[in-house]
Amino acid sequence: MNRRNLLRASTALGAAGAGRVPAAVPQGPAAGSGEGAAPAHSTAAGPSAPAPPGADRPWQVHIALFDGVEELDFAAPYEVFSAARFFTPRPVEVRYVSASGDRSVTAAYGTRVQGVAPWAADQADLIVVPGGGYARRDSRGVWAEIARGTLPRALAAAVRPGLTLAAVCTGTMLLAAAGLTRGRPCTTHHKARPDLAQQGGLLKNARVVDDGDLVTAGGITSGLDLALWLTRRTLGPDTATALETMLEYEARGTPWTPYDPIHMTRSAT
């Protein structure tokens, strides 16, 4: 166990109790190592709340990468989801994936991520789409991926019951590129909000917007809040609060959702 994991494990024992045993090692490379339509299972009556995956199998989290992706957009959720394994008996497996087949990705500030896994949406419970480069149409990043089309098509094809699609910051615009956000409550980085509204998104004034099988977050640092919320929703409040203690970070704002976050049933209002 390296020093970083030793510190995490020590914190885990303090926050969750010495009797809690880490469940599984997350899959995928370390963050520093080294392509939409509304979900098909949504109905005219509203989107369906995702059924919690069985506790007897790993929670499979895939984070989509592409050249020009913002470092904090993907690294913050990776940290949260990976560390969650210290605070739950359920296995958690986290991996970086590429819809284009790239095994190496260069992020916005030059960070090179190697060993990126192939796209395998049929294996995922959650796919997280980071943003990056939205202000620069002539460079790598979200605009280039929209023009390329590979990632938006892969996201549209991924839709199925039981899968949650999530986005950090301008990653929401990749979901919007193929219509995933049309007619759905959502949010994104403040500079991209007019574009998201123009493409049919129902903008909500919240840092995290949870519409069941579509969860979005606005702002570069919102990946932490998105990941903590999804962890709370899937693994429970004890896991999420223990993570906050370990990270020395408290989730910002109140997530917008039409669902009872505990039972994931649609609110009467």
| Single-letter amino acid code for the residue at 221 | T
Domain spans of the chain, in order of start:
56-247
Please give the class, per CATH, of domain 56-247.
alpha beta
DSSP state of 85: G
Q: What is the pTM of this model?
A: 0.81
d(CA 217, CA 55): 26
| Burial class for 157, CB neighbours closer than 10 Å (0-12, 13-18, 19+) | middle
pLDDT, mean of each 10-residue run, the chain (269 residues):
48 45 40 38 45 75 97 98 97 97 94 97 98 88 96 98 97 95 97 95 97 95 97 97 97 91 55
* Three-state DSSP class for residue 12: helix
Listed residue (130, 86, 59, 125) closest to 240, CA to CA: 86
CB 4 within 8 A of CB 246: no
How much is the pLDDT for 182?
A: 97
